Structure 1
């Protein structure tokens, strides 16, 4: 049974809508996130959800941006915990992968496939700057940016296609479904590539 419908302040209503959309995304993927399903979950009419976010496409874009904010917050928390120039790359990789694993990677892929393009930039700029600072020897900032971009691409696609890609490389079905070993591989590779372990 749906909760009773009540009038809420706009900002509160928008937060509830995004929270409900996120729950639907986690439970059923992008296809489960619809205006009607969100409205039922928060006790609004379809028109009420549309009033705040417009169409389903606009709601999905807002949800993806909400996911981007969650990634930024996770990144800032990890980077903020780095002390004495010691970067916990494993924690960083797990934090980003964790958010994408909640359906945001599939949402990003489906929106991009439908033609949507994000005009925003620099979500991982804090990571670029901190990692560049702690590299063992001075190197080009462009190389640090490319390494972070490659990592981000891999993490974004892993929750959508990772198991299939691992199977294509001959990894067994049971093992292919577990992203942990690949996250460890990325951590080790990233440390060596950026010289975070003094081997650059």
Structure 2
């Protein structure tokens, strides 16, 4: 079936993104993408020029999608008036959905978010919340840089958790079931972010 070139590219990128989420960067092969879309390898190569170009397009597409998902998470968190721990949980779920490896691949490929930082919305929302709470309690206003550093450390931890979290915990002697250790680590981060930003 002939498709509009724009539609074909969109379907190919969606398939590549799904393969990435399911099996990591190594799973994104031209043949696997073609099979998922129902086209030939030649069709994928026609639209993207080969695996390297497909990966470059996927990284750009994925960067925009990660930013979009983060925006949706922040807006949902603000609308629900949820606690800080729920925001941490929602951000962790983005990375657990395969975006951790994408975020790392984006960085290693040299992709950088243009303009403001990808997590500026998170920093702004958190800082606004803790500033309002400080005013209500007649406490000194929080330092925005502290919020930025906390979000940066959280981002680093959440992005690396699906990739090397288990190995890093083993290096500290934590050898329990992987799912339990992951849940405990996330709880620790929720507590830490709450303590750092809203003691």
Q: Sort the TM-score into its range (normalised by shorter chain).
A: 0.7 to 0.9
SS of 1:163's equivalent in the other structure is: helix
Structure 1 residues 72 and 111: alpha-carbon distance in aligned structure 2, compared to 1, 3 A threshold: closer
The TM-score, its normalising length taken from structure 2, stands at: 0.80
| Correspondence for 1:168 | 171
Q: Distance in 1 between matches of 2:180 and 2:30?
A: 32
1:67 Cα deviation from its structure 2 partner: 3.4
Deviations 1:66-114 (A, max 9, x none): 333343333323322345894533332233322322333234435655x
> Equivalent residue for 1:60?
55
Matched residues in 1 for 2:195 and 2:125: separation? 16
1:3 maps to which residue?
A: none
**TM-score for both structures, normalised by structure 1:** 0.80
Partners of 1:73 and 1:90 in 2: CA distance: 21
- Return closer, same or farther for 1:41/1:150 CA change in 2, 3 Å cut-off: same
In terms of fraction of residues, the more helix-rich structure is 2
CA drift of 1:177 comes to: 6.2
Matches within 5 A, 1:45-84: 45-83=40-78
In 2 relative to 1, CA 61–141 (structure 1 residues): closer, same or farther, beyond 3 Å? farther
CA 1:164–1:148 in structure 2 vs 1: closer, same or farther (change >3 Å)? same
Matched ranges for 1:127-138 at <5 A: 127-135=122-130, 136-137=133-134, 138=141
Shift of 1:193: 0.6
Whether contact under 8 Å (1:14, 1:52) holds in the other structure is yes
Closer/same/farther in 2, CA of residues 31 and 85 from structure 1, 3 Å limit: closer
Q: Give matches, 1:150-189, under 5 Å.
A: 150-175=153-178, 178-189=181-192
* 5+ residue gaps, structure 1: 1-5
1:10-57: CA deviations, max 9, x gaps?
A: 232122112211222233221111112211221223232233333322
Partner residue in 2 for 1:120: 113
- Distance of aligned partners of 1:91 and 1:57 in 2 relative to their CA distance in 1, 3 Å threshold: farther
**Superimposed CA distance per residue, residues 104-151 of structure 1 (whole angstroms, 9 cap, x where no aligned partner):** 3234435655xx211314211111111111114423322222211111
Aligned length: 189
